[in-house]
Copies of this chain bind each other. A is one copy, B any other.
Amino acid sequence: MNERRVWVNQALDQFLPGEDTPPAPLHQAIRYSVLSEGKRLRPILCMAACEALGGDPRRALGFGCALEYLHAYSLIHDDLPAVDNDDFRRGRPTNHKVFGETLAIFAGDALNTEAFALLVRSARENGFQPSVALAVIEELAKAAGFDGMVAGQVLDLAKQKEPCSAAELDFIHRRKTAALIRAAARIGALAAEAGQRDLERISRYGEAIGLAFQIVDDLLDEKESDRKNQSATYVSVHGREAARTRAAELCDQALAAIEPLGRPAEPLAGLARYIVDRKT
């Protein structure tokens, strides 16, 4: 995983315009967030899914970086005063704390749009069929759009002020977190030109680890005494014990889904275990 993280960091650094590109403050704000320390889970997952289905993971690297642009935009906008109003992320001041709210809004907007330009560019540079590129673009747009990530974020915020049912929590988690993680896995599978059956396996895997990721986040968040964000969490709705059990169940489901893929899926299996066992 560490080697792949280095690939991702290097590729992101190369794809992003330099800090002197006009208007310089915009590119400084973008690079500050995208190049900050991160797990790079989505790009690494995208490459692992590609590999699991016999594809060359390097061909999925650019797609993975586009997923990271999308993820970075969502974090920048989530931290804004009008959303979660967070001052710190990954131990550093949030984007708007350093660059101001206006630039933080525009940096996020630009990353949202450019994710799609990067998908097109990367598809061309890696010799993908246009039809594969289109499927990848649709996957990302749907995961992040009207019925994807944004829908989850909006309901999440609404539920900070009113009770959240188990069904609503599930709606939120499937969209806010699982949609983009599932899309990362599916895009990797598309990059390997997966057939329908393998694509469904990867979808089940991606959905399960996406939901598990959020539950583990909720468990880890509980420990933080300075929790500002009053979102409903799996722990607040179902309790700690149920959360631990559910995360383990989802990990098992993810592993079962990719079991038929055998040895090439070992990195995917490792990622599922990492997600459930992680401490940060």
Contacts and interface: CB of A to CB of B under 8 A. Distances in A.
A102 B114 contact: no
Interface stretch (A57-65, A104-112, A259-267): A104-112
A130 B100 CA distance: 40
A145 B134 CA distance: 19
Nearest to A108: B109
Interface in A40-99: 73, 77, 80, 82-83
Given A112-B113, A134-B120, A26 B151 contact: yes
Contacts of A145: 110, 113-114, 117
Contacts of A114: 141, 145-146
Q: How big is chain A's contact interface, by range?
A: 35 or more
Contacts of A26: 146, 150-151, 154
Interface of A: 17, 21-23, 25-27, 30, 73, 77, 80, 82-83, 100-103, 105-106, 108-110, 112-114, 116-117, 120-121, 123, 129-131, 133-134, 137-138, 140-142, 144-148, 150-151, 153-155, 157-158, 171
A16 B237 CA distance: 33
Nearest to A143: B113
Contact of A120 (B82, B105, B137): B137
Nearest to A109: B150
Contacts of A151: 22-23, 26, 110
Contact of A154 (B23, B157, B171): B23
B134 A130 contact: yes
